[in-house]
Structure 1
Amino acid sequence: MTMDVPIFPILINPTFTILDHQQWIGRLAYIFFGIILPPSIPKFYLSTRTDSGQIIEEVLMPVDTTDLFNELCVVEDQESLLIVLKRWANRYSIFDLVQAQGFTAKELKNLHPPSYIKELSWKHSEWLIATIKEIRSAHLQKRETMNLEEYYDFIERIRENLIKAEDRVERDAQTLYSLCAAYHLFITKTPMHMVGTPFPGGFKVQKIGEEYFCPVKEKQKDVPEALCKFCVAKQLKI
C-alpha cells in the first residue's frame, strides 16, 4: 500500500505572489478534481511512500504537444473532436496547469494596476481548471453540424501561433489553451473567456439572456494572433 506525499499546502488568506499563485492552483485543483494527478513535466517527480517509510520517486514523461496538435488536425466532426479533447485533457496534470499559468503570469506582469492582474489571473486560473475538468466528463448532449471551414481556419491560426512561440513553455501553454478554446468554441458554443473575466476599463464578459457579450470583441477580432474572431460572444456596448 502506498500513499501520495502532499505537494501543495492549503493556504489561508494568501498574499498574491507567483509562488502563492501556483499554490492556489493546487488548492483549486484539489477542490475541482478531488486529487492531485501524477505530474507530467520532467523536472517534477511522483513521490510515494511505502508502509516501511521508503520514498519512491518516478520521473514522468511530458505531454507531447506535437501529437496533440496533429490529432486536432484530422478532426471531422464534434464527436471526433471531443474524443481527442477528452483523451488529452486526461493526460494533463496539475503541474502542466501550473507551468501554463507561470507563462501567463509573465505575460500579465506589465499590466496595471496590480489589483487588475490579481483578478485577471485568478479568473484565468478558474477558467483553465474548470474547463479541463469539464472536458474530462463531457458528453455530447446533441450532435450539431460543425463548421469545418471555420474549424480548420482556427487550427491554422493555432499553427501560426505555435510557430512564433519562443520556447517550449510558451508552445506548451498555447497548445493547452487552444485545447480549451476548441472545446468552448466548437463543442459548447460558449466564449473562450468565462463570464466575469475582467478587461481594462472595468468591463467584463457578460451573459445577458442566452447571449454572451465581450468588451473587446471588435477591437481584437482582427488581431492576427487572437482567436477572438471565432468566439460566439458579441461586442458589448460600452
Structure 2
Amino acid sequence: MTVCRQSIILFSWLPVHVMRNNHRYFFWLAEIFNEQPGDYMVAKTSGSPEEDLYRDAELRIREAVSRIRAAETKGDLGILLAKEVQSFSLFDLQIIGGKLNSEVERLPSPYREAIRPYFREQLFGKHHELIRKYRSGVFTGMNEPLRNKELFHTFCDIIPASCLSWEQMHDRNPNFHNPKNRLFYYLVSAFAMFVLDEPGHPVGMPFPGGYTVEKRGRNYYCLIRDKEKEVPTSICNFCPALQKEDS
C-alpha cells in the first residue's frame, strides 16, 4: 500500500499542466484575487531559506486551526474555511500545483494517468465549490451541527504536526516545502468531510489494486477506509465513508 499511502498523505498539491489547460478556472481565480491570469502561470521563487518557510508558516497554521476549530455548525465551518482558503494567493496555488505535478509524475504509468483527474477534483473542484458556496451565501443557511464534533477537533489537532513534519527537502524550489501548502490540503479536505459529509477522496478515485471510492445510495464506501489507522495524519481516519469489505 506504499503508493496508496503517498496518494493519501503526500499528494496535497495541484498539477500545473492541468491549471494551464483550465482557462476558465484561471480567470475565475484571477477575479477572486484581483490579479491577472498570467501571474498564475509564472513561476517565482522567494529566495528565502527553506528553514524560514517553516518558521513563518507555523504561526499562520496554528492560528488558522484555532479559528476553524471554533465552528459549531456546518455553515460556520464553511465560512471559516472559505476565509482561510482565500488567504492563499495565486502564487501560493501555483506552488501547490507544481508540487502535486512533481509527485504525480513519479507514479508508474498507467496509474499516473488514471489518478491525475481525481487529484484535480479533490483540490481544484472542492476549492472552487467552497468559494462559490461562500460567495453565494449558501453557508448562512446551513445550521446543521457538525456530524461529529469530537472527531473534527481531533482532525484539527493533527493538522499542525502534519504540516510541520515535511519530507526531506530535495526539490530545487524551496517553496515546494512550505508547510502552508499542506494546510491548504487539510482545509479543502475539512470542507469535503465535515461540511458536505463527503469522502476526502472523490467517488471513483482509483487506488492501487483496482480499489475505488464508491457511492451506493446515500452512503460512501472505501476498501482502505480503516487501513490507514497506523498513519494518524491520514484524512482516511476522519472520512465519513464506510469501510468496504473485500469481495
TM-score (norm 2): 0.68
Between stretches 199-208 and 103-112, larger displacement belongs to 103-112
Of the three residues 203, 212, 217, the one matched with 1:195 is: 203
Matched-pair contact (CA < 8 Å) for 1:100–1:172? no
1:123 corresponding residue in structure 2: 118
1:65-115 C-alpha deviation (Å, 9 max, x unpaired): 434334224334333322211223334355433322332344444433x11
1:153 corresponding residue in structure 2: 154
Matched-pair contact (CA < 8 Å) for 2:193–2:240? yes
Q: Distance in 2 between matches of 1:233 and 1:218?
A: 10
1:38–1:172 CA distance, 2 compared to 1 (3 A): farther
Quick one: which amino acid aligns to residue 185 of structure 2?
Answer: Y
Matched-pair contact (CA < 8 Å) for 1:39–1:94? no
Instruction: Look up the SS of the partner of 2:227 in the other structure.
Output: helix
| CA deviation after TM superposition for structure 1 residue 46, in Å | 4.2
2:30 corresponding residue in structure 1: 37
1:25 corresponding residue in structure 2: 19
1:135 corresponding residue in structure 2: 130
Q: Distance in 2 between matches of 1:45 and 1:160?
A: 34
2:88 corresponding residue in structure 1: 92
Matched-pair contact (CA < 8 Å) for 2:39–2:91? no
Matched-pair contact (CA < 8 Å) for 2:74–2:142? no
Whichever structure has more strand as a proportion of its residues is 1
Q: How many residues align?
A: 200
Pair member with larger Rg: 1
| Divergent runs of 4+, >4 A | 44-47, 62-65
Matched-pair contact (CA < 8 Å) for 2:16–2:101? no
Quick one: which amino acid aligns to residue 119 of structure 1?
Answer: A
1:125–1:115 CA distance, 2 compared to 1 (3 A): same
Q: Distance in 2 between matches of 1:137 and 1:88?
A: 14
1:227 corresponding residue in structure 2: 235
1:237–1:219 CA distance, 2 compared to 1 (3 A): same
Q: Distance in 2 between matches of 1:108 and 1:24?
A: 12
Between stretches 114-123 and 69-78, larger displacement belongs to 69-78
Q: Distance in 1 between matches of 2:69 and 2:144?
A: 19
Q: Distance in 2 between matches of 1:169 and 1:73?
A: 26
1:133–1:84 CA distance, 2 compared to 1 (3 A): same
Matched-pair contact (CA < 8 Å) for 1:38–1:46? no
TM-score (norm 1): 0.71
Q: Distance in 2 between matches of 1:197 and 1:236?
A: 14
| CA deviation after TM superposition for structure 1 residue 124, in Å | 0.1
Q: Distance in 2 between matches of 1:93 and 1:126?
A: 19
1:79–1:34 CA distance, 2 compared to 1 (3 A): same
Whichever structure has more helix as a proportion of its residues is 2
| CA deviation after TM superposition for structure 1 residue 39, in Å | 10
Q: Gaps spanning 5+ residues in structure 1: where?
A: 1-20, 48-58
Instruction: Look up the SS of the partner of 2:93 in the other structure.
Output: helix
1:53 corresponding residue in structure 2: none
More relative contact order, 1 or 2 (CA 8 Å, 6+ apart): 2
Matched-pair contact (CA < 8 Å) for 2:204–2:214? yes
Q: Distance in 1 between matches of 2:89 and 2:114?
A: 24
Percent identity between the aligned chains? 25
